[in-house]
Chain A
Amino acid sequence: MTKHLIGHAPSRRSVLKGMGAGLVAASAFPGYTWAQSSAPIKLGFQLHRTGIGAAYGRWYERTAQAALKVLNDGGGINGRPVEIVFEDDATDPKRGAEVVEKLASQAGCDAIFGPLFSHVVIGSAPRAGELKIPYLVCSEGYHVASGMLNRWTLQPGITDVRAQVSSMAPWVMQNLGKKVTMVYPDYAFGYDHRDFFTEAVKAQGGEVIAQIAIPPTETSFTRYLPQIPAETEVLYHVMVGPAVLTFVKELGDFYGSGARPQIFGFIDSLEAVDTATPGLEFLEGTHFWEGHNRVKQADASEAETFYRAAVGVDDNGASVSDAKDVSTYAHMFSCWETLFIIKQGMEAAGYQGPADRQKFVEAIEAMTAFEAGNDHPQGAKMFNGKTHQVFGHQFISKVEGGKLIRVHQTAIEDGMYPDAVDYTTQSF
């Protein structure tokens, strides 16, 4: 990323020469450079290295690096080696669009992948569409399948939140209770949970009896807890950021040692947080959604073991070099799997260079299923080329002795919903 600093070339040339160079660079160069297909394939990674997504970004980078090593050791893509250019977007949508620009136009990447936070994805996708560069997001937002984005934006590596939420509702209804109170952050991420879980609960004959939205500036929750109706059977919580520790502690103080409802939460609250942290004892016996089991389960597959070792994660879900550095295990597999989908798509499209980007997108759209294995350690998945969204298994785990132990695995079909968009009818 350091090759072309500002103004060097033009300042040394006359304006006319510069214009000529500009024209050549704009039109002719890509064709020549990319015709030679032994050059490395360059992928851009839009990384939340700083900002509120930094804990995720750290692990997304490690996972992508580990996957890259496996990919290159296995011969790369179409026999060509692969490089990843990581660029920090500060978890900011404005910077995100600039990073897409930088990776596409300056670094000359063939495709871009990796962003997680919805606002960054939504802020960047329009620019990726304009630049006509494939943009593969690892975001779990419903924004891809809702039809909000464009033909160049795909989410083949992780199930979206609408599918996650609706696939778990039946188990929650049958095993935990039918009267639900939801506590969620008062912004878009929370609304996806509110809307889709409420709908799914209704479909199962249950009822959401209270919805408690917590404003993003709140640091203490004691004044919200009395709003939880006494007849609540299940308390559904999803919180993001450091507030979750306070939330859990205050919830513990609120219920004391008396009776409490069943508690079901989203692991997003506790990604990169050790479940055995002092203050989180109240979580013992509660349930969580996990996109991928953080703690290595007794029946772990070979692929799971392979993936865990390659990324450098121990059996508890922490870094092998630092047991306090807990991973974002429920999400980061998406970087790994997306990279191998890029490989599969590029090989199916006979990808040579940026001129084949459209073929590459079409090749991914044509995919329907992914087998579980080293390329897909989280498990088998089904891909909907029309909505650009993948669907996979979801897991429900219970905290036992401070560890998350899986108690249920959903079927892939459990999360499916009617298509809201057909991107394949849109022009490139």
Chain B
Amino acid sequence: MKVWILHVAVLLALLVLLLVLPAYHATNLARIMVLAVFAIGYNLAFGYTGLLSLGHALFFAAGVYGAALPVTYLGFAQLPALIAGLVAGAVMAGLTGLLALRTAGVSFMIVTLMFAQAGYLSLLYFGEVTGGDEGLVLPGAAGLIPGLSADAARTTIAYGLFALALIASLLLVRGRFGRTMVAMRENEERSRMLGYNPFAVKLAALVLSGLFAGASGAAYALLFGYAGASFATIQYSILPMLWVLMGGAGTVLGPLIGTAAMFYLVDIAGSYTTATLLFVGVALVLLILFAPRGILGTIRERWLPWLP
């Protein structure tokens, strides 16, 4: 019960924040919520199932272009495009998983990284269609919801998507399949002995993870009106990992906290220095030294053992 109260309270708090924050921070929050969906997806694979992927940029970019290409070339409306993007993320994750999940550990990292690089270079190679490094301009958020301004529509959709993703991930990890995912992370051999098929479970987890990443990418492209190959670069594989590590791997709210913390760390540090990545690096080193389980992971360990 208190788990549900906490998560509903977080969603309500976000809603209040969206209403009271000044315009700049409200839009930032919309960005953070969309990117947090990406982090939630990454967390399903990494935090719960133990799949350390360096290829999630591919799934995010599949979402970006899965939505952007139909809008640009097939005249899709934006909501069907969002669904196309999310499906593209899941399909891409499924295809990658079929091959990459034959490996594990470091090899899995390398294979997923290679897939993501191949995806990035393909986007450049088919530049005539994808816009390559320059990218494509999309209609943006205006008119997404009739009667609402671009900002209001964007915020509403970002909030709705995040709320859905958060509740879905909560249900998932507290359910039977969530425990199976954790079993894979904790002891794959033992779960195999108990009759589970690790390949199938991990593939399903990766597809779910790709679905979240795709939804996030599609929403980011549609809400902010831009799709470009830069969303497929290696940094979009590293970022969700950092967000999850900072917030707490294997916690439901960790991805949101990590994404927000990292976003403002860069934003604020950028006002003082060009070495913003140094701030990020120092924060991560401190985290590893003093709170290796991330912000929420540490809180769970020390004070609130019931946190999901």
By the criterion CB–CB under 8 Å, are B274 and A22 in contact? no
- A49-B274, A187-B124, A187-B127 known; A6 vs B25 contact (CB < 8 Å): yes
With A19-B20, A105-B22, A216-B124 as contacts: A2 and B271 at CB distance below 8 Å: yes
Q: In the complex the two chains form, what is the Cα distance from A78 to B205 in whole Å?
A: 62
With beta carbons under 8 angstroms apart, the residue of B16, B224, B230, B274 that contacts A88 is B274
Determine the chain A residues whose CB is within 8 A of the CB of B268 once the complex forms. Answer: 5-6
Q: Is the CB of A122 within 8 A of B150?
A: no
Among residues 15 to 64 in chain B, which have CB atoms less than 8 Å away from a CB atom of chain A?
Answer: 16-17, 19-25, 27-28, 31
Check if A122 sits within 8 Å of B226, measured CB to CB: yes
Distance A307 CA – B22 CA, assembled complex (angstroms): 41
B residues 86-131 with Cβ under 8 Å of A?
121, 124-125, 127-128, 131
B83 at the binding interface (Cβ < 8 Å): no
Contact status A1-B271, CB under 8 Å: yes
- A220 on interface, CB distance cutoff 8 Å: no
Does the CB pair B133–A19 fall under 8 Å? no
A359 at the interface (CB under 8 A from B): no
* Cα-based distance from A127 to B30 in the complex (angstroms): 14
Interface pair A94/B19, CB less than 8 Å apart: no
**A residues in contact with B150, CB < 8 Å:** 130
State whether the Cβ of A81 lies closer than 8 Å to any Cβ in chain B: no
Q: Which of B20, B121, B136, B225 has the most CB of A within 10 A?
A: B20
Q: How many residues of A contact B (CB 8 A)?
A: 49
Q: Mark A79-106, 1 if CB is under 8 A from B, else 0.
A: 0000000011010111001100110011
Interface mask (B253-270 → A, CB under 8 Å = 1, otherwise 0): 000000000001001101
- The answer to whether B23 touches A26, judged by C-beta atoms less than 8 angstroms apart, is yes
Q: How far is the CA of A149 from the CA of B158 in the complex (A)?
A: 24
Query: Does more than half of chain B's interface fall in helix, strand or loop, or is it mixed?
Result: helix
A50 and B124 contacting across the interface, CB-CB below 8 Å: no
Given contacts A88-B270, A191-B127, contact A93 B135 (CB under 8 A): yes
Which of B137-145, B188-196, B299-307 lies at the interface?
Answer: B137-145
With both chains docked as a complex, state the minimum distance between the C-beta of B100 and any C-beta of chain A, in angstroms. 21
Q: B214 in the interface, Cβ–Cβ < 8 Å?
A: no
**In the assembled complex, A223 has its CB within 8 A of some CB on chain B:** no
Does B228 sit within 8 A of A, measured CB to CB?
A: yes
Q: Is the CB of B124 within 8 A of A186?
A: yes
Indicate if B134 sits at the interface (CB-CB under 8 A): yes
Name which of B17, B125, B142, B271 has the most chain A CB atoms within 10 A of its CB.
B271
Whether B240 sits at the interface, judged by CB under 8 Å, is no
**A129 partner residues in chain B, CB cutoff 8 A:** 140
Chain A residue nearest to B224 in the complex (CB): A97
Contacts of A98 in B (CB 8 A): 28, 31, 267
The answer to whether the Cβ of A217 comes within 8 Å of any Cβ in the partner chain is yes
| A–B complex contacts, Cβ < 8 Å, 5 sampled | A6-B25, A98-B28, A123-B230, A141-B134, A187-B132
Contacts A7-B21, A105-B22, A130-B140 aside, 7 further interface pairs with beta carbons under 8 A come to: A18-B20, A26-B22, A94-B231, A118-B133, A122-B136, A148-B137, A189-B134
